[in-house]
Amino acid sequence: MLTEHELAAVERANTSGLAPVVFVHGLWLLPSSWDRWAALFEEAGYAALAPGWPDDPETVAEASAHPEVFAGKGVAEVADHFAEAIGRLARRPAVIGHSFGGLITQILAGRGLSAVSVAIDPAPFQGVLPLPISSLRSARPVLGNPANYHRAVPLTYDQFRYAFANAVSEAEARELYDTFAVPAPGEPLFQAAVANVNPWSQTKVDTTGQERGPLLLISGEKDHTVPWALTNAAYQKQARNEAAVTEILELPGRGHSLTIDSGWREVAETALRFVQRFH
């Protein structure tokens, strides 16, 4: 079920008559992590929406007070939630996602729900085979304990520093952790970890659909969580779709925090330029 806030955002987008853009956050973040992006896209003439994952709190403070609300959210449930929001829009939107939001973005594109898509440091889908050591280390706080499948799992600062904020200063990393980091459901990471041995995996993406639309994949050069090997492997599969444009770009010196750190505008403007070409 969409929240009143999400329904109001859909209504505002429809009433505006502007082309909509939907932002999809990943693990350990909230929809508010897109606030600056939304403002930039609105200034460029789009109607911006950033729905939450089911049961997302409004603020980081609320998330810290009630971490249990994040537990038990799988990839399919999240994708269906965003599909419901998109289904209420009068026009097919651009969809932009980061990390597991980048995976959700590709799932939605494969369903023909987006006019154009940008997947930033996207979590791997079924069939993406590389297993970089840095990715395994980034996921260890969750995957190291099987009981975390049904739990909400926070990151310590040191874990956040390695997985997200390795490419910024210590001071900025601390600020990002305090400002943005929230617990996350363990289930999506377990689903991704076993995707290639589970024929019914929820991380499956239709890369061949005629209605997929243009897709840009962005990789941060220094990303530990989703390094180039994973993003490029996704690109190689997506690029086989002859019906739609597929592009990939690596941003030098950037880590997994590239959508929220002090260099966010470079990434946002890169995504905006791609969206403007097609939407």
Q: What integer is the mean pLDDT of 120-138?
A: 94
Helical H segments across the chain, by residue range:
4-16, 35-43, 60-65, 75-87, 100-110, 133-143, 157-163, 170-180, 187-193, 228-238, 264-278
**Res. 2: pLDDT tops 90:** yes
Q: What integer is the mean pLDDT of 152-161?
A: 98
pLDDT of residue 130: 87
Tens-digit pLDDT profile for residues 216-268: 999 999 999 999 999 999 999 999 999 999 999 999 999 999 999 999 999 99
How far apart CA 146 and CA 44 sit, in angstroms, is 45
Q: What integer is the mean pLDDT of 166-186?
A: 98
pLDDT of residue 131: 87
pLDDT of residue 1: 87
> Which residues span the domain enclosing 129?
4-278
Strand 184-185 and strand 246-251: the pairing is unpaired
Tens-digit pLDDT profile for residues 189-209: 999 999 999 988 999 999 999
Tens-digit pLDDT profile for residues 48-97: 999 999 999 999 999 999 999 999 999 999 999 999 999 999 999 999 99
**Res. 120: pLDDT tops 90:** yes
- 199 burial (CB, 10 Å; 0-12 / 13-18 / 19+) is exposed
pLDDT exceeding 90 applies to what percent of the chain?
97
Strand 19-24 and strand 215-220: the pairing is unpaired
Going by C-alpha positions, the residue among 73, 52, 58, 116 that lies closest to residue 275 is 116
**Res. 7: pLDDT tops 90:** yes
* CATH code, domain carrying 55: 3.40.50.1820
User: What's the mean per-residue pLDDT of the chain?
Assistant: 97
Instruction: Quote the number of domains for the chain.
Output: 1
How far apart CA 188 and CA 175 sit, in angstroms, is 26
